[in-house]
Structure 1
Amino acid sequence: MQIRDLPYSDPGAPDVRSGFRLLLWLGRMQLGGQLKALGWGVLQLASIASFPAVAGLAVTAVVHNSGSDLALAGAAMAVVTVAVTVGDTMLHRVAVTNWITAAARIQQLLARRTAALGATLTRRVAAGEVVAVSTGDIERIGWCVEAVSRFSAALLTTLGVCAALVVYQPQLGLLACAGMLALALTVLPLLPRATRRADTQRERAGRATELAADTVAGLRVLRGIGGEDLFLDRYRRASQQVRHAAVRTARMWSFIEALQVALPGLLLVGVVWYGARLALDGRIAVGELVMVYGAVSFLLLPLQLFGEFAMSYSFSRPSATRAARVLGLRRPGEDHGAARADIPKEEGKVQAPPAETRAPVGLYDPGTGLHAPPGQLTAVVCGDPDAAGRLAERLGGHPASEADVCDGSDTEAWAGSDTADLEGKDAAVQDRRDAAVLGGSDGEPGEADQTGAVHPEADRTGGGEERAAPASVLLDGVPLDGMPLEQARAAVLVQDKDPVLLSGTLAELLDVPSSGQVTSAQALEAAQCGDVLKALVQGSPDADGDPMRARITERGRSLSGGQRQRLALARSLLTDPEVLILDEPTSAVDSHTEARIARELVKLRSGRTTVVFSSSPLLLDRADRVVFVDGSAAAVTGTHRQLLHSDAAYRAVVTREPQGAAPVRAGRRTKAAHTEGVESA
């Protein structure tokens, strides 16, 4: 694999059972590059090890006054020099290639895993952890992969040189081999402590990075409440903790490196002293002493390579463990979906036909009994505001974990569990899903299934019985979790309550896959983005009055919350998916703008399935049907006006009135009715 061939067409399926197994898998995937580096490394080190022998021949030729032997030694020296140059150049080239390609493979795997998990990733792994894994940890993993080949070449060359010394000069050879073994055993016990200190430094750096990211993301709010100094002090303390940990780590590694310099020097002094006494006694020649001295001096180079490999492995093992933990995360039903990935597209029930011929599809959640009929705008009101986001993600086919359907006491246990536990629980969830009796092919609710899921007719309290994990959401009767990921993402689009705007021009922001039936102008008009376009043009002098060329800053920080929300809504409308799920799409806009958005949303999504999570009467009054989710079940269904009069719990959530208040009378004007009156006037 060459750098110019990146990215990989298929990075492979990593072994994520442990960090060590992940490193072994990387080595196997780059076996060809490792063997090339090993060969060039042996050539380089063997050539360097040959210098003492050639120098010894030259000294012997001078002692014997042999011109021909001296010329032969000079020719041998030239050959060895060329071999060292070629070997060093090619080793560096191949080793760096191994480093970059290994890092690129892990980066590509992390990107794919992030895309597969979607918004649920940060529920299972902290954002700072993901950033640290995708930056510093990848570099350390690549460093270890690169160091393996040079370590192997150093080990083979060292064994060869030690064997030659023992054969050529048994006394000096045995002394040198024993000294090398003692040096290795002296440094090894220090490596675990150095590794622990480096791991502590990395964890503190990750927490500081996460704190900095959170501070920057909420800077506007912090300035509004005067909280900059508080968060600045927190970051300063976190930064100082990172500095102290880095100093402790540097002290340990500097001590190890000092030992690697001092102890080999003492060994070299001892070998030279003993060899000089043998030469004075006449038991070895001067040329032989020079040869042994040069060989022992050469052994100091592999010793440094051993130390470098030990350092790289010590740093990369925790990094590989964290990378394996992230790569091992699975969304519920993903393995089942992978097994179905080879089904021809023409056999699937929900493949996307041309937009002008496709029929609307329905969405049904057996877990809550929520049903979104085909081609209708369904509004969902949740008694628990936090449950709305989780339910929206579930309808999109990527819930965080089974913890979402458990009671609150289970959540912390899930958060603290390791990857293996999560995979085991997800597998159990999938087994129950596979055994479920699903609804009809048209997406209508079926009879009660074997998972114990709650249906619309069920009592909202659930009877106090323990509820099993719900089956997958059904898209026209097809389990969404069982579909190939690309097909599921194309069919259902979820816009959460805090959408992200990437930096770039407005044209680049709206350059998304779409059906082609909705133009960018229509989407922007439906989202009421007129004032947003003017603001973008005013803030982008280079746009020359063209809103599509206006630049959006990172995360849209130059815009207000409502402006960002409307741009995100326009992007979602332009995509024109078969099912569009919007979580609080108008929570940051004023009432008049919200009313216009509700009106245009109904027009633009006419004949398409749309689910809106909101408690705003302006949106609820425009919906074809409203579903009230109380607890973990869809309690009641009807129109907004019907539920206002018939259900006290629904009325309490929507109107913010006490649950025991009297129902809204026909003559009482709601916010929606008042707005409609203003618009008609």
Structure 2
Amino acid sequence: MPTTPWPYALPDEATPPHDADRLLLWLVRRQWRTIVGGAAFGIPWMLSIALVPAAIGKAIDDGLVARDGRALVLWSAVILGMGLVSAATTNLRHWFAVRNWLFAAFRSAIVTERAVRRAGPALTREKPAGEVLTAFANDFWKVGNVFDVSARFAGAIASFVVVSVILLSGSVLLGLVMLVGGPLLLASLAFVMRPLQKRQEAQRTESGELTALGADTVTGLRVLRGVGGEETFLSRYAGQSGRVRAAGVRLSGVQALLDASQVLLPGVFVVVVTGLGAHLAVAGDISPGQLVAFYGYTAFLTMPLRTATEFVNKLITSRVMARRLVSILAAEPDHPVHNSPIPSLCTGAPDRTRGIGELRTGELVDPESGVRIVPGELTAIVSARPEESAAIAARLGRTVPGRHGVTWAGVVLDDVPIEDVRRTIVVSQADPHLFSGPVRRELGALDQPDDDALLAALHTADAMDAVESIDGGLDGELEERGRSLSGGQRQRLALVRALLRDPEVLVLVEPTSAVDAHTEARIAERIPKHRSGSTTVVVTASPLLLDRADRVLLVEDGQVTTIGTHRDLVHGSPAYRRVVLREVEEE
């Protein structure tokens, strides 16, 4: 049953800017309706509170002082009505505030997750994995902070202006004090905001480095124990923890100053306005009711002023976190489509639109290296530099969404979902990852009607011993990253997962580098039978696998220089022998 997309999700073509301030504005434009909705309830909420002193002043002057019972009842009813308005708008204002916060956080997560998938391994080469982890665990929520307070900030501005106008109509002096003193009070916080922002940035940087250090250590924990490096790591982690604590202490001082200013400065402002009001009342310039109302206004003013300082504080935090996110958004993959050649299907003109069928029948070509993959064959790619052949494999498997469908192998595929293309060609890297969970699910066998395909893939990868070593076997649970398995067992289970996908084109990068010679011989014999009739590419320098290939391509300095069978190349190519039989020649 097809699912209806969430109406507040972002379309695939949504491209966020790579600047922190512009990113926040980009998010504002995409949720302006909920922001306006929050303001529509935030303004009457705070105005209903702000106007209570005016109603009390009228009740005193027109009711108590004038001894008019009807006026007293009328203004009492007005006060009750404003209380009801405040209660109703409070709930709705808070509802919009939470929506604004969650939408901003969720959409920040969406675009960042897309950037991570687009950049792939290039991202963690530019920045530590822990930095990315911290962004997902912490930064998204703080990006939404300023959106949370936006409804209250709108109410604060409106109520401040209304109260200033009321004071100005009752006393020019008090009105001017309000209109001039309020902005000056907020401007004075600039002396605190700048160091606060710098120290938040510093604390966030140190925290990200600590997370990165922890993530790297967990990944290499077994190696650390093997070489006795626990104490070295402990001292590094303790040192970084100390730097995080020191940065937090430096930040807390400025943050405490800002929090104190939020109470002190509005309090001073209230004292000044109240003193001026009392002086005017004694002089007879304002009535007793106006004096009570003015005191109520000054007491109320602490709310909008504190809200304004809170908005500025959260804006700074959101900008700091947005800067962290845009550094991820700006990450580019190792092989940008518009900067380097990508593979093409040579079945006609290279720029015409093709259907999914030509993925199955066309010859796959990487123009950068000259690699040509014939459909239905087992092709091996050999290079003295493994990173060259691995890069070719990555280019062969690249899939990119396009404006007119899916661009794959340098052409546009008409009306083809990108998921179909990705099912058609699969690249299994040299260091495949296993995740925690049920064995069948992690191998991709949950959708299989029976175990025949799974058992066949396990036989081809010679991986039954790996499954049997797991408690519960196929019905058991894999530990995180398959850490209870040996490197060879993990590699063979990853091969099982790739074989179970049964793609039209399967690219295997060093699939037997971590297994012994006897196991490798069995896998090399079984892969051609398992993949008979399908296109298979193996990146390897193993003679056992090369001997089973229909064609072998020797790559030197990034270009294909020799093509033939393994046996022909062994006898006729000295360069091939240096790469594949180097150990024999050295003897």
Instruction: Map 1:416-435; keep pairs closer than 5 Å.
Output: none
SS at match of 1:106: helix
Which segments of 5 or more consecutive residues in structure 2 lack a partner in the other structure? 342-351
Contact 1:526/1:604 (<8 A) preserved: yes
Instruction: Map 1:106-117; keep pairs closer than 5 Å.
Output: 106-117=108-119
Distance 1:54 1:273 in 2: 21
From 354, 361, 366, the equivalent of 1:349 is 354
Distance 2:321 2:378 in 1: 47
Q: What whole-Å deviation, never above 9, does each CA across 1:357-388 have from its counterpart, x for those lacking one?
A: x9554321111112222111112222123333
Q: What whole-Å deviation, never above 9, does each CA across 1:596-626 have from its counterpart, x for those lacking one?
A: 1111111111121111111222212222222
SS at match of 2:444: coil
Aligned match of 1:366: 367
TM-score (norm 2): 0.88
Aligned match of 1:489: 422
Contact 1:497/1:583 (<8 A) preserved: yes
Aligned match of 2:533: 607
Contact 1:380/1:611 (<8 A) preserved: yes
Distance 1:124 1:102 in 2: 26
List structure 1 segments (4+ residues) > 4 angstroms apart after TM superposition: 4-7, 328-331, 334-337, 358-361, 477-480, 482-485, 512-518
Contact 1:162/1:177 (<8 A) preserved: yes
| Alignment partner of 1:572 is 2:498 | yes
Aligned match of 1:417: none
From 531, 537, 551, the equivalent of 2:465 is 531
Amino acid at match of 1:333: V
Q: How far off is 1:41 after superposition?
A: 0.1
Instruction: Map 1:329-340; keep pairs closer than 5 Å.
Output: 329=331, 331=333, 332-333=336-337
Distance 2:412 2:523 in 1: 32
Q: What whole-Å deviation, never above 9, does each CA across 1:451-474 have from its counterpart, x for those lacking one?
A: xxxxxxxxxxxxxxxxxxxxxx98
Contact 2:38/2:150 (<8 A) preserved: no
Contact 1:624/1:639 (<8 A) preserved: yes
Distance 1:568 1:195 in 2: 46
Q: How far off is 1:298 after superposition?
A: 1.5
Contact 1:506/1:550 (<8 A) preserved: yes
Distance 1:214 1:609 in 2: 37
SS at match of 2:144: helix
Aligned match of 1:436: none
Aligned match of 1:404: none
Between 1:561-570 and 1:133-142, the stretch displaced more is 133-142
Amino acid at match of 2:280: L
Distance 1:381 1:122 in 2: 27
| Alignment partner of 1:635 is 2:568 | no
Q: How far off is 1:570 after superposition?
A: 0.5
Distance 1:630 1:248 in 2: 55
Q: How far off is 1:82 after superposition?
A: 1.0
SS at match of 1:519: helix
Aligned match of 2:60: 59
Contact 1:176/1:296 (<8 A) preserved: no
Give the aligned length: 563
Q: What whole-Å deviation, never above 9, does each CA across 1:408-443 have from its counterpart, x for those lacking one?
A: xxxxxxxxxxxxxxxxxxxxxx9xxxxxxxxxxxxx
Instruction: Map 1:49-448; keep pairs closer than 5 Å.
Output: 49-60=50-61, 61-329=63-331, 331=333, 332-333=336-337, 349=354, 351=356, 359-397=360-398
SS at match of 1:15: coil
SS at match of 1:321: helix
| Alignment partner of 1:508 is 2:441 | yes
Identity value in percent = 38
Q: How far off is 1:646 after superposition?
A: 3.1
Distance 1:656 1:548 in 2: 40
Amino acid at match of 1:207: E
Q: What whole-Å deviation, never above 9, does each CA across 1:198-243 have from its counterpart, x for those lacking one?
A: 1111122112111111110111111111112212221222222112
Distance 2:493 2:176 in 1: 76
SS at match of 2:560: strand
Between 1:370-379 and 1:89-98, the stretch displaced more is 370-379
Contact 1:352/1:491 (<8 A) preserved: no
Aligned match of 1:620: 546
Q: What whole-Å deviation, never above 9, does each CA across 1:447-498 have from its counterpart, x for those lacking one?
A: xxxxxxxxxxxxxxxxxxxxxxxxxx985x8489x99754542332111111
Aligned match of 1:441: none
| Alignment partner of 1:499 is 2:432 | yes
| Alignment partner of 1:521 is 2:455 | yes
Distance 1:369 1:514 in 2: 38
Q: How far off is 1:122 after superposition?
A: 2.9
Distance 2:569 2:458 in 1: 32
Distance 1:577 1:81 in 2: 67
Distance 1:478 1:267 in 2: 68
Q: How far off is 1:18 after superposition?
A: 1.8
Distance 2:206 2:454 in 1: 45
From 495, 513, 519, the equivalent of 1:587 is 513
Amino acid at match of 2:292: V
* Change in 2 beyond 3 A, CA 1:658/1:205: farther
* Change in 2 beyond 3 A, CA 1:373/1:78: same
Contact 1:11/1:108 (<8 A) preserved: no
Q: How far off is 1:516 after superposition?
A: 9.4
Q: How far off is 1:92 after superposition?
A: 0.6
Distance 1:372 1:516 in 2: 32
Contact 1:45/1:153 (<8 A) preserved: yes
* Change in 2 beyond 3 A, CA 1:5/1:363: closer
Contact 1:514/1:576 (<8 A) preserved: no
Which segments of 5 or more consecutive residues in structure 1 lack a partner in the other structure? 338-346, 400-429, 431-472, 541-546, 663-681
Amino acid at match of 1:364: V
TM-score (norm 1): 0.77
